[in-house]
Chain A
């Protein structure tokens, strides 16, 4: 035990003496969560559109005003002819052109029908789709306001309650994701590098011939990083509560316990990587190239998993980050207890055991 404590102390010296890494270790997560918490949103907001108004009558002006006053659109310019659309799109600033047909208002009164064409730059399908949806709802409200006056029929109106996120803040969606990515990558990267570093520099041999047992060596490597990651997690949670006003509806204790579990899962993944990789370079490339994009894309951090094709939904089950994101959202936003997230917890726990099992199996105590 005394030996083990000595070993852990050595690891702390390593970390503590490398001031630059230490600064990066704590500075980066803070910088990233602040930056992304404020900057990333997948909603559209003040999208620049152009108007092609062939009618220029009272009705079109009223509708254009409604669009201009909505928070989704900002009218950039007025076009004169269809031929300009292509040029405008190629420049890339304007995402949609709203085209009113000739005699728009007159046709609306005489024939009871008139059409608006929404030409969207669909290279970004998400923005294109959102634009048409929002224009649709502006027009529907307008339709309704004329119809009520005329027919006087009953109207069903909707009372919509946005549960768990009444102000629809994107932060609620992204902060749990950013937190997960930071914890996962930092933990996996740090452990895998610090173990392969000893291999590469040749000091691993010295550790192996010492009376320390192999699992003590690995455990001693991991303990300091568990502590560092816990501090990181605490900082991130504090930032999200005080700066982004994320609520913690559920138990803070449970949140803490789940975070520790997830940190251990990531660290054991790091250990696994270090048993495969011989050099720091390989370890880093596996933990960066191999983990970064899958974690960003398949965890439900940005893209909803339920929209993915079935094979990918199955693959996403193997990403620990997916389960942790469900857990954090559950505890912080929905305020659920362990009864609602025990399944996810068990999965993370099993993954940890799995990673550790393979690492122990593959861990070489002899030199090649």
Chain B
């Protein structure tokens, strides 16, 4: 026990003596949490709306009027021709182009169908879908007003058959992205710091040659590993605490569930990450190799965690891969506990998987760690 105590003391001294690393461990993540949480939004607004009105009639102006009064669209001055609108789209200054043909009003009055042309910059497919849905909603509203007039003319008694939709958004009434993103980004930062630090640590001693010196001392394998990992485990929990405090104070993120559950889960989760870090350092010779591998896994873990893009939309085989992703479970648990107030029984499935993961990874890591080359 005493040996472990000294080892831990040594690790802490090494961490706190390296003045270059301290701000990277503690300040960089916090700044990123504060700044980047604002960036992660899919909300589509201020759509640059270009149009070509070849009709110049009351009807076409009434239609355009509907767009200019909508808060989603940023109406640009009319383009004289499609070619010019298109070139503005190529430059990236226009998101959607609406073409009103020159016999628009005449065909409307003659009771025929009439068409509008809509061109959407669809490179971002999801945004394009939302943009065209907004345009459609406005055109439908326009249609409805015509139908209403037609109904009056034809003496049909009003319109029947109108279904209205009342959306109600649970857990996040205002659809605030920060509520969604801050817990997730906090999870990422805690994971990245602990994985990188633990992954590089032992390899560094290997590379510098001090590992041999430790190996010839009577320090046992288990003592050495605990001494190496415990400081990073504490740093991880410390970062989580700072992050939660800031999330509460600055972003006013609700914490509905119990903090005890959150910390209990994090304590186990960090073992998984530290185990992966240890495993990586066992199988690499240089810090460079260790970093590349850690980087490879972290990018996959981040992008397949369901944090930025929904897991349900991934193909089946990719969803299977995500079940091996520890970040996925942490993101789920943090969101469930903080935003939905989930209790212990609600997070049990994630907890069991994480626990099994922790035992497996650490078992492998300890097993593969050799004092003798």
Bound together:
yes
Which residues of the other chain, A, contact B108 by a CB distance below 8 angstroms?
Answer: 154, 156
* B121-164, CB < 8 A from A: 121-130, 132-133, 135-137, 139-140, 142-144, 146-151, 154, 156, 158-164
Nearest B residue to A161, CB-CB:
B119
Q: Is B276 an interface residue (CB 8 A)?
A: no
Q: Is A24 an interface residue (CB 8 A)?
A: yes
Contact indicator B147/A147 (Cβ below 8 Å): yes
Contact indicator B35/A43 (Cβ below 8 Å): no
Chain B interface: which of A108-116, A206-214, A219-227? A108-116
Given contacts A115-B166, A293-B36, contact A304 B310 (CB under 8 A): no
Q: Is B267 an interface residue (CB 8 A)?
A: no
Which residues of the other chain, B, contact A173 by a CB distance below 8 angstroms?
Answer: 123-126
Which residues of the other chain, A, contact B40 by a CB distance below 8 angstroms?
Answer: 297, 302-303
Contact indicator A170/B125 (Cβ below 8 Å): yes
Q: Is B204 an interface residue (CB 8 A)?
A: yes
Contact indicator A151/B147 (Cβ below 8 Å): yes
Interface-centre pick from A92, A127, A146 (highest chain B CB count, 10 A): A92
Q: Mark A208-251, 1 if CB is under 8 A from B, else 0.
A: 00000000000000000000000000000000000000000000
Contact-residue size bin, chain A (C-beta under 8 Å from the other chain): 35 or more
Contact indicator B292/A128 (Cβ below 8 Å): no
A140 to B163, CA, bound (A): 8
Which residues of the other chain, B, contact A345 by a CB distance below 8 angstroms?
Answer: none
Distance in angstroms from A335 CB to nearest chain B CB is 8
Given contacts A42-B42, A154-B114, A333-B123, contact A116 B165 (CB under 8 A): yes
Given contacts A38-B315, A119-B170, A282-B20, contact A303 B42 (CB under 8 A): yes
Q: In the complex, which of the residues A113, A163, A181, A308 contacts B41, with contact meaning CB atoms closer than 8 Å?
A: A308
Nearest A residue to B99, CB-CB:
A159
Which residues of the other chain, B, contact A363 by a CB distance below 8 angstroms?
Answer: none
Nearest A residue to B183, CB-CB:
A123
Q: In the complex, which of the residues B28, B122, B144, B299 contacts A165, with contact meaning CB atoms closer than 8 Å?
A: B122
* B279-333, CB < 8 A from A: 284-289, 291-296, 298-300, 302-304, 308-310, 312-315, 318, 321, 332
A322 to B318, CA, bound (A): 27
Which residues of the other chain, A, contact B120 by a CB distance below 8 angstroms?
Answer: 160-163
Distance in angstroms from B108 CB to nearest chain A CB is 5
Given contacts A42-B126, A154-B150, contact A21 B137 (CB under 8 A): no
Contact indicator B121/A163 (Cβ below 8 Å): yes
Q: Is B46 an interface residue (CB 8 A)?
A: yes
Contact indicator B170/A161 (Cβ below 8 Å): no
Contact indicator B169/A120 (Cβ below 8 Å): yes
Contact indicator A151/B42 (Cβ below 8 Å): no
Contact indicator B161/A28 (Cβ below 8 Å): no
| Interface residues on chain B, number (Cβ under 8 Å) | 128
Nearest A residue to B89, CB-CB:
A163
Q: Is B81 an interface residue (CB 8 A)?
A: no
Q: Is B65 an interface residue (CB 8 A)?
A: no
Which residues of the other chain, B, contact A40 by a CB distance below 8 angstroms?
Answer: 303-304, 309, 314
Interface-centre pick from B44, B150, B162 (highest chain A CB count, 10 A): B162
Distance in angstroms from A342 CB to nearest chain B CB is 11
Which residues of the other chain, B, contact A181 by a CB distance below 8 angstroms?
Answer: 299
Contact indicator B339/A123 (Cβ below 8 Å): yes
Contact indicator B163/A39 (Cβ below 8 Å): no
Q: Is A117 an interface residue (CB 8 A)?
A: yes
Contact indicator A90/B146 (Cβ below 8 Å): no
A323 to B132, CA, bound (A): 26
Q: Is A361 an interface residue (CB 8 A)?
A: no
Q: Mark B89-128, 1 if CB is under 8 A from A, else 0.
A: 1111000000000000001110111111111111111111
Which residues of the other chain, B, contact A284 by a CB distance below 8 angstroms?
Answer: 196, 200, 287, 291
Contact indicator A38/B41 (Cβ below 8 Å): no
Which residues of the other chain, B, contact A309 by a CB distance below 8 angstroms?
Answer: 38
Q: In the complex, which of the residues A132, A144, A315 contacts B35, with contact meaning CB atoms closer than 8 Å?
A: A315
Known: A43-B125, A333-B123. 10 other contacts (CB 8 A): A40-B309, A48-B312, A114-B163, A119-B168, A129-B43, A130-B130, A150-B161, A189-B292, A285-B21, A297-B40
22 example contacts (A-B, Cβ-Cβ < 8 A) are as follows A18-B288, A18-B289, A28-B292, A32-B299, A42-B308, A85-B170, A115-B165, A118-B166, A120-B168, A124-B180, A125-B177, A129-B130, A150-B160, A151-B154, A156-B116, A156-B146, A157-B113, A164-B123, A279-B18, A288-B196, A290-B28, A329-B123
A-side residues, CB < 8 A to B, are 18, 20-21, 24-25, 28, 31-32, 35-36, 38-48, 63, 85, 89-92, 95, 108-109, 112-130, 132-137, 139-140, 142-144, 146-147, 150-166, 168-170, 172-173, 181, 185, 189, 193-194, 197, 277-282, 284-286, 288-290, 292-294, 296-298, 302-304, 306-309, 312, 315-316, 326, 329-330, 333-334, 336, 340
